[in-house]
Chain A
């Protein structure tokens, strides 16, 4: 019964707006309905986040009942060692795995690019595995591997797991840039006397740089946001922010964590605004990250 209510609540406005907004764009009703539709989707997208931000300023312990304005939870955040260490772990794991997988992935992408067609397509299909596979299966299967190999769960296992699901993203963002690259420039560099290594560093790498950067940002995001794979591969001692939040959902969340995510959100907005003002060209890549 409740399902039917949800279906009605969502379906009726959707159907009405569908009819209106796919109409003639010059008609006023179309324009208005498009605006209304987008606004509704925006409200849907931002409603929980607004709630999250508002309750980070709550003076009470609840994340749902408003008791008054205060910065109390921001102060608590500064004194909470658990969250601070979880944040530190997240940053360490995300940065190290992103850097390693960017370097490793870029080098591998160059190698794969020059492979013959059939081995290349096999390797690319293998590379797609972690992207297509469900997180939980990746996590479970890595746990089995660690069991067999006798790798203890901790920082090392966590970082290896993150590298293994980050590398494909790096390879897949570098690969198109390699395809777009003009191979004649590289050959010209060799003709002009550059050693292959020098040509690689000075000619190929600068051309695929946008791909490398977007691969790095993508893996940074992926590893910051990952929860399921970390759950299986981190072991009992190491805890990332996601895992900390997950254990909090069982104990009860305090607005402290709202405060932390508000800060992170504001930082992300500032970074995005700055990069968009500085370099509108790279906007396209940011979107994908």
Chain B
């Protein structure tokens, strides 16, 4: 027994490299996101240069953020012209297609939007080309911008709605499936539950795309409807299509945790319920359902959280009209990390809140994610 205390120390030391790794790659990134969400970049301008008279200048490489009708922040930044940087320090929208841009030397120019791809600036003389020095300042502008803007709020609420509906349908379809599975003979149910998991081995983008061929205007469902004599349905690019595919993709995440809790329920409790005179429905609602709550709540978490941020599905099935918050983050992030981070933080808060609401009662830390693993 003598070497044991000494070795206990060394055994704990096995975890030290992981602690370092976890701090750098698990904790630090989250802190960074929060940090970015509360800051914005400062542009300092140092080098000035005259630019030749030109009736029309095309400013390329300008990415649109889209929420900036009222904010003077988003179009401020550095753009490129002929490999040189052109910095717009301020602008005020004049009318939807034209922006009045204030440059640092007091020059004013109208900038017009073409196809959302490039800007054409007119009457730009003596524009200063500037080198940018970067810094940051703390602000809550990112959040204010998010909540003040109708478009981004619409996207946000739509994502919540889509995720909520998907979760509800997953639960409605998943619980009976798990229940039926759990009532089967052990050998059969092992095989059948593996069969439910098999599709997960096919890349989810492909599964989503396969739904497209089913649901499309000229797709298989409409062909069948047409052959029966029914009118073709416009199913593609609707919220319904997005919800359908989300239900499809996340159903296993709902079935599995519920199934795992259902098969562990002590049979004698159910038999006791029958013996005491309860019928099958009563037993279901008063005995089985309450006992399955941990599985149900972990199933809801595992469906709702990915559903709220899923962005490929809404892009493939919903087109541009059903953009979800995940899609917005991806789109915004390359141009404006600060705003993108703020959106991520909002989602994180929403996720934490929903997890807290769902699993507030059984906060057994060993059980988090334990339903699946």
A: residues with CB less than 8 A from B are 2-3, 5-6, 10-11, 14, 17-18, 21-25, 34, 37-38, 41-42, 44-49, 51-52, 55, 63-65, 104-105, 107-108, 110-115, 121, 123-138, 140-145, 147-148, 160, 163-164, 167, 169, 172-173, 187, 190-191, 196, 218, 221, 225, 227-228, 231-232, 241-242, 245-246, 249, 253, 257-258, 261, 264-265, 268-269, 272, 276, 283-284, 286-288
Contact = CB atoms under 8 A, between A and B. Distances in A.
Nearest to B284: A22
Interface in B229-264: 233-235, 238-240, 243-244, 248, 251, 256
Contact of B18 (A112, A232, A283): A112
A123 B213 contact: no
B10 A196 contact: yes
Nearest to B35: A144
17 contacts: A55-B213, A114-B8, A121-B365, A126-B26, A129-B30, A131-B368, A132-B368, A133-B30, A134-B326, A136-B311, A144-B36, A167-B21, A172-B369, A190-B4, A227-B312, A228-B312, A258-B206
Contacts of A143: 333
A261 B198 CA distance: 12
Given A49-B199, A245-B205, A128 B218 contact: no
Size class of B's contact patch?
35 or more
Contacts of B172: 10-11, 14
Given A2-B239, A52-B207, A249-B209, 18 more contacts: A21-B180, A22-B179, A23-B280, A44-B173, A46-B199, A64-B213, A107-B18, A108-B17, A111-B18, A129-B27, A131-B368, A132-B369, A133-B351, A136-B329, A148-B32, A190-B4, A218-B373, A249-B316
Interface stretch (B95-103, B104-112, B189-197): B189-197
Given A167-B18, A241-B203, A38 B177 contact: yes
A113 B13 CA distance: 11
B183 interface: yes
A65 B192 CA distance: 32
A245 B348 CA distance: 28
B311 A10 contact: no
Interface string B299-318: 00100011011011001100
Given A245-B203, A261-B203, A268-B198, A126 B29 contact: no
Interface stretch (B74-82, B124-132, B336-344): B336-344
Contacts, number: 280
A232 B329 CA distance: 11
Contacts of B29: 138, 141-142, 144-145
A167 B281 CA distance: 43
A6 B7 contact: no
A281 B10 CA distance: 34
Q: Is the interface of B mostly helix, strand, loop or mixed?
A: helix
Contacts of A147: 337
Interface in B285-328: 301, 305-306, 308-309, 311-312, 315-316, 326
B150 interface: no
A134 B25 contact: no
Nearest to A121: B365
B210 A51 contact: yes
A261 B206 contact: yes
B225 interface: no
B306 A135 contact: yes
B16 A137 contact: no
Nearest to B308: A134
Contact of B235 (A2, A51, A164, A191): A2
Contacts of A241: 203
Which of B18, B172, B177, B312 is most buried by chain A, counting CB atoms within 10 A of its CB?
A: B18
